[in-house]
Amino acid sequence: MDFEFGRALNKTTTTTARASAESAIDARLEGDDDESEDDAFYSWRVGGANDLKITHLRDVYRGDVPLVAQPSPFCTTTACPLSGPRTSVEFNSNFVSNSDRVLLNSVAFGSSADPTQTCSLWAETFDPNGCDYVPQWVVRAGPRSEVYFDSDEVHAAIVTCGGLCPGINDVIRSLVNTLEVGYGVKKISGIRYGFKGFFSGVEFMKLNKKTVRNIHTLGGSMLGSGRGGGDVQKIVESIIHHGINMVFVIGGNGTHAGANAISDECAKRGVKVSVVGVPKTIDNDILLLDKTFGFDTAVEEAQKAILAAATEAQSAYRGVGVVKLMGRQSGFITMFATLANGQVDCCLIPETTWAAHGPNGVINYVRNLLDTQGHAVVVLAEGAGQEFVTSTGVDAGGNPKLGDIGQWFCKQLKSELKCDIKYIDPTYMVRGCQANAHDSIMCTVLGQNAVHGAFAGFTGISVGTVSAHTAYLPIPRMIEHERLVDPDGRMWHRTLESTGQPDFF
């Protein structure tokens, strides 16, 4: 079987992979059982040369007790008891096949000029602009009819790392409910304050359906979150020591790098531990996904700050409302909040360069707005214009501590313009809150699918929304770099159309 993970091969392999896969399908249909051809068959059906393959415990486990598949205790129909015989209807309905796939790149562009397009080299060789669209697939998430864990043997651990994000508690609740109610797991441990909770000596929190019943009505993380403590050896020692065999890691790209390292270390030791990530970030900076949970809520919360800034600016003589929003490297919150508000005159994000001073600079633009419309609203991401300010080192997770671009910008305005500045920095207010309905539902779906993935025996994976479906993805491909706003993309151009701002250089 072909579950080994690694980077998807690029354009060159497509044609030959397809040919060999097709002949393998023929051979299989004719009853030829050659193993390599079986691999090719599976590869074409489940993860082709350009697809995002994921690791299964079968590929890495080297323990004494054989790893065997068994019927899933999870019931895909309503009101199904955990114990007792399963009917054929229940068995067949709603289980997800390992061959189910989700299309990653759902648009086939007409030209290879689009950077996200995957083209076959064959087409490009004959026509540099030609593009024979190559679909890329990811593994569909969901309950499998066969699982690789007995519910009684499971000790699941849940850990939340990095900054807070609306919906963390919803994910914890969904994980616990699916583990306990869906699969009958009795041993679930909450790890306190991030990765270091595995070895800090702080007692694990016992989790069950009762303890998580109402946690989704609160923001934050009931377990506590934290940066630092990414000592993989100590974490894996603790996992083995406590007999933990499922680890659910809720966090951003840093946390996912940690989760992947933990999964690799467990694989190196050949132990039966399934590590599954759930991407958490208000910044929406994870590759391949439609959106991360908490982002929507953060954008909604940011509306309050922008609305107040616009109101203040419009009610003051030569009023300028300035709002700084979270977003270290990625300007998604700032861009979407600007678009949603519709009263912003200038939006500044880390992905674009801009001059503050000079005839084409932002300050001169604000001056013109004050002269013509009497007020101005500027929204900037905390990571924007970092070349103007000084970073103050790194945090416990190795992330840069940013200079305060909001304060700096207001200072420049004050020194150059006669105006009345109202500066709003909502900081943690956009994330220290309960998830909205959209995010809450998304969290429930992600948590449930994370448990299905672990029971199915996958490891080193993360679960996310891809082309509106939930999928399992190999972690390294999601964290190659931060996902950024494309300054040549249509969403940024929509934003510019909304603000009416020029290029500031």
Ligand X SMILES: O=P(O)(O)OC[C@H]1O[C@](O)(CO)[C@@H](O)[C@@H]1O
Number of residues that bind ligand X (CB under 6 A): 12
CB of 287 to ligand X, least distance (A): 16
User: Residue 485: what residue type?
Assistant: V
CA-nearest of 373, 370, 375 to 315 is 375
251 binds ligand ATP (CB under 6 A): yes
* Angstrom distance (rounded) from CA 464 to CA 201: 32
Three-state SS sequence of 285-328: CCCCCCCCECHHHHHHHHHHHHHHHHHHHHHCCCEEEEEEECCC
Binding of ligand X by 457 (CB under 6 A):
no
Contact between 258 and ligand X per CB under 6 A: no
| Residue 450 Cβ vs ligand X, minimum distance, rounded to whole Å | 19
Compare residues 395 and 503 and give the one whose CB is closer to ligand X: 395
DSSP state of 195: G
Q: Does 47 bind ligand X (CB under 6 A)?
A: no
- State the CB neighbour count (10 A cutoff) for residue 169: 25
Q: How far is the CB of 169 from ligand X (least distance, A)?
A: 16
Residues 205-244 that bind ligand ATP (CB under 6 A): 227-230, 232
452 near ligand X, rule: CB under 6 A: no
Minimum separation from the CB atom of position 109 to ligand ATP (A): 31
Give yes or no for residue 281 binding ligand X (CB under 6 A). yes
Task: Rule CB under 6 A: say whether 326 interacts with ligand X.
Answer: yes
Query: What are the distances in angstroms from CA 504 to CA 48, 161, 282?
Result: 45, 37, 27
Site string for ligand X, 403-442 (x = CB under 6 A): ----------------------------x-----------
- Residue choice 118, 120, 136, 281 for contact with ligand ATP (CB under 6 A): 281
Catalytic residue among 51, 283, 285, 439: 283
Q: Which residue is nearest to Mg ion (CB)?
A: 252
- Residue 340 burial (CB < 10 Å; 0-12/13-18/19+)? middle
Least separation, in Å, of the C-beta of 294 and ligand X?
8
Exactly one of 162, 166, 219, 350 binds ligand ATP (CB under 6 A); that residue is 162
Active site residue 264: no
Given a contact cutoff of 8 angstroms between Cβ atoms, the answer to whether 182 and 133 are in contact is: no
The DSSP bridge partners found for residue 298 are: none
Contact range with ligand X by CB under 6 A, out of 8-16, 63-71, 122-130, 324-332: 324-332
Residue 271: Cβ within 10 Å count? 18
Question: Three-state DSSP class for 492?
Answer: helix
Q: What is the C-alpha to C-alpha distance for residues 150 and 341, in angstroms, rounded to an integer?
A: 51
* 399 binds ligand ATP per the rule CB under 6 A: yes
Among 143, 197, 258, 327, binds ligand X (CB under 6 A): 327
Which residues, including other chains, have CB under 8 Å from residue 71's CB and lie 6 or more apart?
86, 91, 145, 146, 147
Closest CA to 384 of 313, 308, 333: 333
Pairing of strands 101-103, 146-147: unpaired
- Check if the beta carbon of residue 189 is closer than 8 Å to that of residue 156: yes
d(CA 278, CA 160): 9
Q: Closest distance between ligand X and the C-beta of residue 104, in Å?
A: 25
**What string of H, E and C letters represents the secondary structure of 397-457?**
CCCECCCCHHHHHHHHHHHHCCCEEEEECCHHHHCCCCCCHHHHHHHHHHHHHHHHHHHCC
Residue closer to ligand X, measured from CB, 162 or 453: 162
Residue 216 binds ligand X (CB under 6 A): no
Q: Which residue in the set 48, 73, 143, 163 belongs to the binding site for ligand X (CB under 6 A)?
A: 163
Report if residue 328 touches ligand X, rule: CB under 6 A: yes
Alpha-carbon distances of 300 from 108, 339, 378, 435, 456, rounded to whole Å? 32, 11, 17, 10, 36
Binds ligand X (CB under 6 A): choice among 179, 257, 282, 339: 282
Binds ligand ATP by CB under 6 A, chosen from 255, 338, 440, 501? 255
In this chain, which stretch among 95-103, 181-189, 303-311, 325-333 interacts with ligand X, using CB under 6 A?
325-333
* Near ligand X by CB under 6 A: residue from 283, 300, 301, 482: 283
Task: Give the binding site for ligand X (CB under 6 A).
Answer: 162-163, 252, 281-283, 326-328, 382, 395, 431
Tell me the catalytic residues: 283
Give the interface with ligand ATP as residue ranges (CB under 6 A).
Answer: 161-163, 195, 227-230, 232, 251-255, 257-258, 261, 281, 283, 396-397, 399
